[in-house]
Amino acid sequence: MRDAGLWIPRKQRPPTLHQPRNRRSCLGELIQIDGCDHRWFEERAPACTLLVFIDDATGRLMTLHFTATESTFSYFEATRKYLEQHGKPVALYSDKAAVFHCNGHAEAAGKGVTQFGRALYELNIDTWCANSSQAKGRVERANLTLQDRLVKELRLRGIDTKEAANAYAPHFIADFNGRFGKVPRGAFNAHRPLRDDEDLDLILSSRVARRVTKVLTVQYDRVIYMLDDTPENRALIHQYLDVFEYPDGRIEIRVNGAALAYRQYDRLSEIDQGAVLDNKRLGHALQVAQVLQAERDNRRASGSPSRTNQGEAPRPKERKVGTRTQRELTREQFNAAVLSTARERAAAVQK
């Protein structure tokens, strides 16, 4: 193939040229967004991520949002701040991170769209993904500038938490734009106001479809939600409804625009040590359950959204050594746990 000229090794290919392009004409016509992981508080606090929204026409910083990691819920929070302050832009320009782009497109309808893309579609905001970092160089260069200027401002003010940094961000944006913002070629503001029927709480949420079982339960992220036994809910058996998860952690089960009442049963719940002491007759059984839970893989479902914005640790990709799922538990392992706890109880009684 090399001799025929059908394929050229990567090292022998000419470098790709990224020529500059003109700025957009109007404010709000194109907003470049990106997340930058950096030690924004230096040694005063752990590293975190800053989400940056910058206007292409003027170079103005539109929104700065400090968060733990670059996740869908974090972008929902930053986008809500942007929409409430400026309105709806024409388009957002991002990279091909998993928040914005699906690398594996499924044949089924709706499977090739991320939650963030679905939310912006409902808001009538276009989303474009850049093929290279040079294509969205304005926000990339802004990240380098912020790593110098913003870090020093946070140090001078003794800010060492994400909450305090988010409270200071509007003051920094006003000062930065006043000194470095450009005048757009056109005086028209392309931002559009939110419509009355656009509920940001419902739109900026993670939404998945789940089927109601014949016993009126819905399963989502290894949690079983039990619906009330009513004639209206019985009519939903074997029907699909929507499970909404909001950035603040709330869960709603909605059908036809109404939220349903439910009771929650977490399959990954833990046995309380106090329950073992209070229940003398069930003490041995509860101890066995504790042993099995210690060897259980407690990761949530892989397709569930990241909840680092709520203070949770990032979900590990690989499970811990020695853990297993509930379906992998064998009878021999269960019997071994029963025998080991029985020996411990017998030894405690002899003492």
Domain of 103 in residue numbering reads as: 19-180
How far apart (Å, rounded) are the C-alpha atoms in residues 346 and 351?
9
Domain-located, residue 14: no
> Which CATH number fits the domain that encloses residue 136?
3.30.420.10
Domain end position, chosen among 266, 288, 308: 266
The DSSP 8-state label assigned to residue 138 in this structure reads H
**Same domain for 163 and 129:** yes
Write the single-letter amino acid at 298: N
How far apart (Å, rounded) are the C-alpha atoms in residues 311 and 300?
15
**Same domain for 144 and 33:** yes
The DSSP 8-state label assigned to residue 181 in this structure reads P
Check: CB of residue 161 under 8 Å from CB of residue 48: no
**Same domain for 119 and 34:** yes
Q: What is the pLDDT of residue 109?
A: 45
**Same domain for 34 and 167:** yes
Q: What is the pLDDT of residue 110?
A: 53
Q: What is the pLDDT of residue 294?
A: 61
**Same domain for 107 and 248:** no
> Which CATH number fits the domain that encloses residue 221?
2.40.50
**Same domain for 281 and 256:** no
The rounded average pLDDT for each run of 10 residues, N- to C-terminus, in the chain (351 residues) is 81 79 92 96 95 96 95 95 96 93 60 88 94 89 95 96 96 96 94 95 94 93 90 94 93 92 72 48 58 58 71 67 64 70 68 61
**Same domain for 52 and 134:** yes
Structure tokens at 32: 């470049």
Q: Which of 320, 317, 325 is nearest to 98 (CA)?
A: 317
